[in-house]
Amino acid sequence: MMLASEVNLPALLTREHHRIHLVGVAGSGMSGIAALLLELGHDVSGSDRVGSWETDRLQRLGLRFRAEHRAEDASDAELVIFSSAIRESNPILVNARIAAQPLVRRAEALAGIMSGKRGIVVVGMHGKTTTSAMAAHVLREGGMHPSHYVGAEIPLLGSNAHWDPRGEYFVAEGDESDGTIRFFKPEHTLVLNIEEEHLDFYADLAAIEAVFSQLLDQTSGSVFYCADDRHTARICGPRPRAISFGFSAESDYRATDIDLKDFASVFSVFRRGERLGEAVINVPGRHNVSNALGVIALATELGIPFPKVATSLGHFQHARRRFEIKYQSERFLLVDDYAHHPTEISATLATAKSAGRNRVLTMFQPHRFSRTKALRREFGRAFDQADRVVVTDIYAASETPLAGISGQTVADEISAHGHLGVTYQPRLDRLHCDVGNMIASGDLILSLGAGNIHEQLSLLAADLVIAERLKGIVGEEGDVRLYEPLAKHTTLRVGGPAQFWVEPRTESAFADLIRHCRRENLALFVIGRGSNLLVRDGGIRGVVVHPCGGDFDKVEVSGDEITAGVGAKLKQVAYAGKAAGLGGLEWMEGIPGAVGGALRMNAGAMGAQTFENVLRIRYLDEEGNAHTRIPAELDISYRHVPSLERNYAVSAVFKGRPAAAEEIARRLDESQEKRRTTQPSAKSAGCIFKNPKSIPAGKLVDELGLKNTRVGNARVSEIHGNFIVNDGNASATEVLELIAKIQETARKERGIELETEVQIVGEEG
């Protein structure tokens, strides 16, 4: 391998034009280097496992990109630059070593490019992206035409890196994670904070400090440092051209009268006792006041007048993923932040808390196995200010997993520290559901982590927009919840989440919902008591309407007619009849469902069927218009009412038969007794199969010897063969497998096709 020292890197990169290849070009740091090299006129190619919108953008600027690492694509390169995330076995690296191609790390290349200008490096464990972006912005507004390189896409700056041939300065964010900041020989260095981090690379704090000290030794001009940070002050303070900033009276540049607003701060700035004026920043938190003060110190020392600095700071917009507001309304605030170190998490949570919302709900994706292992105790203490925390699994960032270290480790630590609101959700794709289901008006929801957790917050934000519209339709009295677990609403107690769970309380709200869903192309599904329902583990996409409360739950008797809303229990109808001396409805006692479900499937028991007792029903059609119909106008058969599959029942009028109180009581007892003695009381969906003509399904299953057959926690009841019971946390998949097993046996052994009576809905989980 040709060493970096053997080529004149600064000249090669900034004064000549060459053929250069970047290995791992899609990463945020590497894409910045690629952008600079293209702007410097080089012939640049790059490879990565996958493309990104960054590589798309770079391709438009002239990058030749391949979503694969192939040695031949870099064989003609005069320089190969690689990211720290690239493994030694990468074919391009292997080949470059054999072919003795000059091979340098990202930071060496950056240092080389920077040497073509007067370098300003911003370093520290936390806040360096914001601070370096702020510095580049203030210098730019100050007319200095700085070039820049920062670790994230900054909308305000146009991109994460830019070479401006007009200016003298180059502002760069230095990445301390792999020790490569020692390559920089800047004119000025700005140090924000130093603490234990990246212990996968550094042995201890002393090793970290040694690398920072080397950078300071190589700094020819001033060292700007935060005097409030203990380690930083100790290392930087004694330097000959050190300039301090902070909140204490001894700092050269000092902030006082700090007024922290929701997402902005106002403060007074003093330079060695002299008041320079007031500054406003539109990035939240006290730590950002400190960061801004570093930029004020730097820019002022470079000769930009304070009023100009203050105005520019006021225009500064936050970097993406740094307290980025994804959704904001009076009811909710959704914020995404890159914080992944315990200190950053605490700081971000403090900021979130200061926003003054009711609760702070947090979803967290730990980043790297090594960090999780090294800082597990610190993570345990970092979430004190969050009301609820849902932790998912670790984002590996090219690391190999470590045995015994997972998201559960973090959740356990947080819990062991005494937090009562922490849960673990190993499935990243379910994270937005867990958090979304907890939210209540007034909450701030925060996603934290350096991986891809922000996508989960984006999903939540998109659904929240729809949920808020649905809420507008059902009004104050109605309820809308996101991702309601349908296991809570089915008697079998299985089923994934409902994307939108809506409880209208009035017929007109229900009608408006139907119209809205039709207009917006949202699927609509109605669920009552969920007693005859099997929801798959992926839940139901779209709007799940649960008409309940108000008119929907009412049961009223007038003469021999009983009017019941679809939300009323069938049982209530039977007992309302009893109270009014009306019989013929006693069989309803044995059905666990509500009126709506009984109508929809013409439920029955004790030889009776729902529609035998119905005088008329009222329903809403697909356009939300109400109709009243008598049974003769509907197409009704055994366990099947097709017209109610496309229409939505709202109430029914049942006809009772005047009968003696004792007779009604006796038949109710009979019904109850039949249910008690022949049906299981365990969690079930009632009868699973329709009775075939030749034999009752329960009898058939019994004769086939399938009672007590199980798949996981789903089991055929030993009491009644047509019932599948949930022995605890059974999944829909298990129940469905058991159903298939029974059907197969019935087919094979008796040639009988068992048709399910239970309604099976939803997506695969």
> What would the two tokens of residue 552 be?
């929907």
Bridge partners (DSSP) listed for residue 562: 557, 654
Annotated active-site residue in 54, 55, 108, 129: 129
Rounded Cα distance between 700 and 712, Å, is 23
Nearer to ligand EPU, 497 or 590 (CB): 590
- Binding segment for ligand EPU (CB under 6 A), chosen from 19-27, 264-272, 328-336, 698-706, is 698-706
Positive or negative torsion for Cα 58, 62, 63, 67: positive
> How far apart are the C-alpha atoms of 426 and 403, rounded to whole Å?
16
Minimum distance from CB of 444 to ligand EPU (Å)?
Answer: 45
Comparison of 618 and 674: residue with beta carbon closer to ligand EPU: 674
Q: If binding means CB under 6 A, how many residues of this protein chain bind ligand EPU?
A: 19
Rule CB under 6 A: which of 505-544 touch ligand EPU?
532
Where does this chain touch ligand EPU (CB under 6 A) — which range of 1-9, 80-88, 254-262, 688-696? 688-696
Q: How far is the CB of 718 from ligand EPU (least distance, A)?
A: 8
The residue range among 18-26, 104-112, 375-383, 687-695 that interacts with ligand EPU, by the rule CB under 6 A, is 687-695
Q: Is 691 in the site for ligand EPU (CB under 6 A)?
A: yes
Is 103 near ligand EPU (CB under 6 A)? no
Stretch that binds ligand EPU, among 39-47, 209-217, 478-486, 602-610 (CB under 6 A): 602-610
Identify which range of 307-315, 413-421, 645-653, 693-701 contacts ligand EPU by CB under 6 A: 693-701
- Give the one residue of 80, 260, 411, 687 binding ligand EPU; rule: CB under 6 A: 687
Question: If binding is defined by CB under 6 A, does position 603 make contact with ligand EPU?
Answer: yes
Minimum distance, C-beta of residue 624 to ligand EPU, in the bound complex (Å)? 30
Residue 533 β-bridge partners: 759
Q: Is 173 a catalytic residue?
A: yes
- Residue 240, CA distances (Å) to 213, 214, 252, 645 in order: 13, 15, 14, 82
Closest CB 367 distance from ligand EPU, rounded Å: 50
Please identify which residue in the block is written with the tokens 């690379």: 201
Under rule CB under 6 A, residue 284 binds ligand EPU: no
Q: How do strand 479-485 and strand 497-503 relate by DSSP bridges?
A: antiparallel
Is 180 a binding residue for ligand EPU by CB under 6 A? The answer is: no
Alpha helices in 506-624 (DSSP H): 507-520, 570-579, 595-601
71 and 95 Cβ atoms separated by less than 8 Å: yes
Closer by beta carbon to ligand EPU, 366 or else 604: 604
- Cβ-based nearer residue to ligand EPU, 554 or 699: 699
Q: How far is the CB of 696 from ligand EPU (least distance, A)?
A: 4
Stretch that binds ligand EPU, among 9-17, 363-371, 491-499, 714-722 (CB under 6 A): 714-722
Question: Would you say 87 or 676 has its CB closer to ligand EPU?
Answer: 676
Question: What is the sign, positive or negative, of the torsion defined by CA atoms of 186, 187, 192, 193?
Answer: positive
| Residue in 173, 197, 503, 586 annotated catalytic | 173
Cβ(23)–Cβ(80) under 8 Å?
A: yes
39-60 burial, b if ≥16 CB within 10 A, otherwise e?
A: bbebbbbbbbeebbebbebbee
Residue 90, token pair as written in the block? 């990468």
For position 589 contacting ligand EPU by CB under 6 A, the verdict is no
Q: Between 129 and 726, name the residue whose CB sits nearer to ligand EPU.
A: 726
Binding mask 320-359 for ligand EPU (x = CB under 6 A): ----------------------------------------
Single out the catalytic residue among 117, 128, 471, 578: 128
d(CA 186, CA 119): 4
Give the binding range for ligand EPU (CB under 6 A) out of 10-18, 135-143, 276-284, 692-700: 692-700
Lookup result for tokens 């990104």: 52
CA 543 → CA 143, 328, 332, 479, distances in Å? Answer: 54, 23, 20, 13
> What Å distances lie between residue 726 and 172, 217, 490, 676, 710, CA to CA?
60, 69, 11, 18, 10
Query: Is the distance from CB of 197 to CB of 204 less than 8 angstroms?
Result: no
CB 601, min distance to ligand EPU, A: 8
What minimum distance in Å lies between the beta carbon of 680 and ligand EPU? 10
CB of 361 to ligand EPU, least distance (A): 39
> Any contact of residue 678 with ligand EPU (CB under 6 A)?
yes
User: What is the distance between the alpha carbons of residues 742 and 736, in angstroms, rounded to a whole number?
Assistant: 10
What is the C-alpha to C-alpha distance for residues 727 and 713, in angstroms, rounded to an integer?
A: 5
DSSP letter string, 475-493: TTTSEEEEEEEGGGGSTT-
Q: Is 690 in the site for ligand EPU (CB under 6 A)?
A: yes
Provide the token pair at 200.
Answer: 């996968």
Burial 500-524 (b: 16+ CB within 10 A, else e): bbbbbbbbebbbbbbbbbeeeebeb
Q: Does 220 bind ligand EPU (CB under 6 A)?
A: no
**Hey, which residues between 467 and 496 contact ligand EPU (CB under 6 A)?**
none
Does 706 participate in binding ligand EPU (rule CB under 6 A)?
Answer: no
Task: Kindly give the pairing relationship between strand 714-716 and strand 710-711.
Answer: antiparallel
Judged by CB under 6 A, the residue of 132, 722, 726, 731 near ligand EPU is 722
Question: Taking CB under 6 A as the rule, does residue 721 contact ligand EPU?
Answer: yes
Taking CB under 6 A as the criterion, the residue among 314, 538, 581, 696 binding ligand EPU is 696
Nearer to ligand EPU, 314 or 696 (CB): 696
Is 670 a binding residue for ligand EPU by CB under 6 A? The answer is: no
Nearer of residues 231 and 699 to ligand EPU, judged by Cβ? 699
Amino acid of residue 271: R
Nearest to 595 by CA among 664, 542, 662, 641: 641
From 18-26, 220-228, 445-453, 599-607, give the range in contact with ligand EPU by CB under 6 A: 599-607
Q: Collapsing DSSP states into helix, strand and coil, what is residue 431?
A: helix
Query: Following DSSP, what letter does each residue of 515-546 receive, concatenated?
Result: HHHHHHT--EEE-SS-TTEEE-TT-EEEEEE-
With contacts defined by CB under 6 A, name the span among 219-227, 355-363, 434-442, 715-723 that binds ligand EPU. 715-723
Residue 263 CB, nearest approach to ligand EPU (Å): 55
DSSP state of 84: T
Is residue 613 close enough to count as binding ligand EPU by CB under 6 A? no
Q: Which residues, other chains included, contact 473 with Cβ-Cβ below 8 Å and sequence gap of 6+?
A: 504, 509, 512, 513, 516
Q: Which of 39, 48, 54, 757 binds ligand EPU (CB under 6 A)?
A: 757
Interaction of residue 116 with ligand EPU, rule CB under 6 A: no
**DSSP E strand stretches across 67-208:** 79-82, 103-105, 118-123, 147-149, 161-162, 169-173, 188-191
* 586 is a contact residue toward ligand EPU (CB under 6 A): no
Minimum CB separation from ligand EPU for residue 720, in Å?
Answer: 4
Contact 711, 738 (CB under 8 A): yes
Q: What tokens were used for 657?
A: 């038969």
Binding positions for ligand EPU, 285-304, rule CB under 6 A: none
Backbone φ and ψ for 154, nearest 5 degrees, come out as -120, 105
Between 127 and 590, whose beta carbon lies closer to ligand EPU?
Answer: 590
Please say which residue, 14 or 722, places its beta carbon nearer to ligand EPU: 722
Applying CB under 6 A, the residues found at the interface with ligand EPU are: 532, 590, 603, 605-606, 674, 678, 686-687, 690-691, 696, 698-699, 702, 720-722, 757
Q: Which residues are catalytic?
A: 128-129, 173
